[in-house]
């Protein structure tokens, strides 16, 4: 029994829709966690009441389920690209199909070594488009900064499939401080919001200065192989990049789909 698809890109867009559903689920569950009593900011005052220290208090860490939801999101994002190449290759069969996938490389030499196997029977016009999308061109960085989107997807997806779930961190983006007078000393510390972490310290010339501080946080994913962390917004950026920039370049025009299926 064969499967008939209405359009070669049907499964690609279907994977993207599923990835978006996982992102929505993540947002809803994250909001529920944030509204709970799982975390707080504790103020400590010294004996003469001239120094204020603010610490993170975390009574419940991020549920591991959140990482699993992101895992499902990553799987579908990566699969949308692999399904694209499978269609471009004419839905090949046999042993050769095992290597057919969307190549993502940060080095042009490594790309050149693998491209013939990964893009088996893919039309030269399609190959040229895929080559231009490679991270080593650094043309698909998110928001004009940070690592290229497809590079982040590659590392997150591989780590998720073969090693472990990804760690989620709350990171302070900024702090809003309202005080009666300027402190004589002030310091903001590391941005990671973990239990007991010292977030800020203020010292005043006189005791009992009225002040209020609030922290604005964002959620970050650890990209182990890149030795960096990226905002959860990167996943939305990857989704939008594939939907709006990658897939539209591979329509039915230009003969990219009009070829006999490849033989393995």
pLDDT in tens, 16-43: 999 999 999 988 888 887 777 777 888 8
Residue 123 has pLDDT above 50, yes or no: yes
Which of 28-32, 63-67, 120-124, 159-163 comes out lowest in average pLDDT? 159-163
For residue 71 the two structure tokens come to 């895992």
pLDDT in tens, 198-236: 888 999 999 998 888 887 777 777 787 777 778 888 889
Q: Which residues contact 1 (CB under 8 A, 6 or more apart)?
A: none
Q: What is the pTM of this model?
A: 0.79
Rounded to 5°, the CA angle 136-137-140 comes to 105
Using a pLDDT cut of 70, give the percent of the chain over it. 89
**What is the spatial distance between Cα 10 and Cα 257, in angstroms, rounded to a whole number?**
14
pLDDT category, 6, cuts 50, 70, 90? low
Domain residue ranges of the chain, discontinuous segments joined by +: 10-249
| Region of residue 121 (left: phi > 0; alpha: psi -120 to 50; beta: else) | left
Eight-state DSSP code of residue 161: H
pLDDT category, 240, cuts 50, 70, 90? very high
pLDDT category, 128, cuts 50, 70, 90? very high
Q: Mean pLDDT throughout 100-115? A: 93
Please, what is the angle between helix 108-118 and helix 124-132, to 10°?
150
Residue 2 has pLDDT above 60, yes or no: no
Residue 260 has pLDDT above 50, yes or no: no
Tally the C-alpha atoms within 13 A of residue 82's C-alpha that lie toward its C-beta.
15
β-partners of residue 169 are 220
SS3 251: coil
């Amino acid at each position: 029994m064969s499967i008939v698809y209405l359009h070669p890109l049907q499964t690609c867009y279907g994977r993207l829709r599923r990835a978006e559903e996982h992102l929505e689920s993540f947002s809803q569950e994250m909001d529920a966690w944030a509204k709970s009593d799982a975390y707080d900011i504790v103020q400590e005052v010294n004996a003469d009441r001239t120094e204020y220290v603010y610490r993170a208090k975390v009574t419940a860490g991020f549920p591991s389920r959140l990482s699993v939801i992101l895992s499902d999101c990553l799987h579908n994002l990566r699969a949308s690209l692999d399904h694209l190449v499978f269609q471009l290759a004419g839905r090949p069969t046999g042993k050769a199909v095992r290597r057919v996938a969307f190549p993502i490389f940060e080095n042009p030499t490594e790309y050149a070594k693998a491209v013939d196997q990964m893009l088996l029977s893919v039309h030269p016009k399609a190959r040229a488009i895929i080559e231009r999308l490679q991270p080593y061109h650094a043309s698909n960085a998110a928001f004009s900064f940070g690592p290229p989107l497809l590079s982040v997807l590659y590392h997150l997806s591989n780590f998720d499939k073969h090693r472990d779930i990804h760690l989620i961190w709350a990171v302070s983006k900024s702090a809003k401080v309202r005080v009666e007078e300027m402190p004589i000393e002030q310091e903001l510390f590391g941005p990671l919001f973990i239990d007991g972490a010292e977030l800020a310290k203020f010292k005043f010339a006189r005791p009992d200065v009225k002040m209020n501080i609030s922290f604005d946080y964002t959620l970050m994913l650890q990209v182990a192989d890149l030795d960096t962390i990226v905002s959860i917004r990167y996943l939305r950026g990857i989704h939008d990049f594939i939907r709006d920039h990658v897939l539209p370049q591979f329509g039915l025009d230009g003969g990219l789909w009009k070829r006999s299926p490849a033989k393995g």
